[in-house]
């Protein structure tokens, strides 16, 4: 058995689900545009630059979940998936996932974006496993805080190792392993697999990939 891991934002998606979710809530009037839009853009730029404070970002990102019922959030997400996310999924991205699935590989999305936002997107791709930042819940209502290690930078390696351990496996169990990502933030996990692949990569990752002879490809819409 082989292993295929996929980053989500700006990799399988031609955009960022985190950023789009906040913009979607702003567009619906759930979040105040003047207060949240500039902050959303600021965090997005920090992520791209590799300077994001993940805990400060999660305070910003998860707080809106705690102010609304799960039923209301789920209804909004259905609309979000249809209007904001499906247009960001290219035929090439679906074909790549299908190629690994048809080969019988173990598939997982590994993303820093929280599992409420990304769970339905993983199901849209028919990817059975999701390693994402976990928004804590109490009695079915989000608390606004993360649970456990955020799936970000070195945290992705920790979370992947723990997931495989729960299956009685480790990265060395696989003859071949792939991780597809666009971001310099994912270098720690890219360095752990046998086939690191830079997808529509940012400048830093593209340079590293070129220097190390890693594969590069585009999945853009």
What is the side-by-side strand order in the sheet with 106-114?
141-147, 129-138, 106-114, 3-6, 177-181, 195-199, 215-217
For residues 130 and 127, give the distance between their C-alpha atoms in angstroms, rounded to a whole number: 8
**Both structure tokens of 43:** 């965090």
Which residue's structure tokens are 């080969």? 103
Catalytic residue selected from 9, 16, 186, 200 = 9
7 catalytic residue (yes or no): yes
Catalytic residue selected from 7, 16, 182, 202 = 7
DSSP 162-217: HHHHHTT--GGG-S-EEEEE--GGGHHHHTTSSEEEEES--HHHHHHHHHHT-EEE
Phi, psi (degrees; rounded to nearest 5) at 216: -135, 140
200 catalytic residue (yes or no): no
For residues 204 and 210, give the distance between their C-alpha atoms in angstroms, rounded to a whole number: 10
Specify whether the CB–CB gap between 146 and 136 falls below 8 A. yes
Specify whether the CB–CB gap between 130 and 107 falls below 8 A. no
By annotation, the residues acting in catalysis are 7, 9
């Amino acid at each position: 058995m082989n292993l295929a891991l996929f980053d989500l934002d700006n990799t399988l998606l031609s955009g960022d689900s985190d950023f789009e979710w906040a913009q979607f809530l702003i567009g619906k009037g759930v979040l105040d545009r003047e207060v949240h839009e500039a902050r959303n853009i600021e965090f997005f730029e920090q992520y791209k630059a590799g300077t994001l404070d993940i805990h400060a970002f999660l305070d910003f990102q998860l707080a809106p979940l705690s102010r609304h019922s799960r039923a209301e959030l789920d209804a909004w997400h259905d609309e979000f998936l249809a209007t904001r996310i499906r247009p960001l999924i290219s035929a090439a991205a679906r074909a790549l996932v299908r190629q690994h699935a048809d080969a019988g590989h173990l598939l997982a999305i590994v993303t820093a974006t929280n599992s409420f936002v990304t769970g339905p997107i993983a199901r849209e791709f028919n990817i059975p496993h999701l390693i994402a930042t976990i928004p804590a819940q109490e009695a079915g209502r989000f608390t606004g805080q993360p649970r456990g290690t955020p799936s970000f930078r070195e945290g992705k390696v920790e979370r992947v190792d723990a997931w495989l351990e729960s299956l009685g496996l480790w990265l060395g169990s696989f003859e071949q392993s792939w991780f597809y990502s666009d971001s310099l933030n994912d270098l720690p996990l890219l360095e752990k697999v046998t086939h690191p692949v830079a997808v529509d990569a940012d400048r830093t990752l593209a340079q590293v990939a070129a220097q190390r002879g890693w594969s590069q490809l585009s999945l853009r819409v």
